[in-house]
Structure 1
């Protein structure tokens, strides 16, 4: 198995040039002060920067005082551009992949490139930093022990409602990204499909000057959002509390059995109770006898 070490990967002089490293570099989601020193150092020494939008990333590099060869890598050209970038890596050139904001590949391009790099045995090294979904969740006040990131909901209402309907019984906290021109429609559909009383938190313009969190039940948040003149400006992270867990058939059966035992114990001996409940539930008589004893003693 090939060993990989994060951070700087130095190349030793040899007759055969060692391959370059593909760095996955997280960049600020709004506040440029969130750019880490390590990310800046990596960008300063790579040979090529693959960027979702070269104009946007060019401004970031200019802010950092860097001049780099930029190659556009986005949803529409990734399969074609990946091969050239892989050739760069095999020629010994280090490449940094960045997105417009946050951590690459999190609802952003890069999957094809990273997958193919690993298939070729090339080193892929993450340079962690800002990520909108983690940033929003950390301040939302919703359960984070389990969450399901769904990316962007379908743009059209029919597809969006169908996607929400499939998540109706999901007990993990749900996380979506949403654009400003679709946010009202999305929250209205959430109210209709998941219920107006479901708890929801919206994070808008995270880390920027007008960062805003809207929280409460869906109907309350929708009303506030509709009344806010800035409510449809900026990118959103939508977080919804998961559905209450539904008891399994086995759990429900256990509850019914206990109730039945408690009802019969005052009228019948424990052995008779166990026999009757075993016939009604199909569960082992010996198990029910022990359970009846526990309930009687308790």
Structure 2
């Protein structure tokens, strides 16, 4: 509906959805539209005496009025998102409005829709800025898949609802509550302490094979080279500690034991596995 330039009937919406969701029924569309209208997210138009009558629902307007009373809340409608810079606790997002642009400072970011809300611009693309990735169905992909469904690879950025998979409104609400808790854990703190569990490169063991670069979900590893004292060129990798999540994927892919997570060397895991196996 957001991409349509005209009013759409329930049957037109159903016909459009059937292309990507062949199992969906017309009753489901009517029921969902009715719920969205009651919540104020859409406006319902009915025909009477040959004229279009608008059934206004004041719920959304009331919610916006209440939110606007809070000095810490800003509500933007009919806008797109441009460039996003910064890091967890200190993001700056560009809001592209019909009448101009506005930069806002935010501590955390929640993506709650799979709809493309990027502003068409050469200056920036917030999905690329935040290293967000989509799957073949155009849903956003998280840090560790189903093991960590609400977290993106970028610290302080979360997702919920239709941004990550197809789900009904009740499930989306529950999803949103979980993500709101994640975001609240960031913005409620005066100071954020970075976890020490990040990747450490053992330079003398790393030969620059780059096996660890592509699998890194946070894209925190870069291949570099430098000249050693005897004049030879040394290839190795470098870890961006600011965005490393300490997931251990790099350590698992390294054939030379040239990278590990601080406080979690491979031999520690071996001893833990032996201990568990022995206890079994």
Q: TM-score over 0.5 for the alignment?
A: no
Instruction: Choose between structure 1 and 2: higher helix proportion.
Output: 1
Task: Determine which structure has greater relative contact order: mean sequence separation of CA pairs < 8 Å that are 6+ residues apart, divided by chain length.
Answer: 1
Provide the TM-score with structure 1 as the length reference: 0.23
Structure having the higher Rg: 1
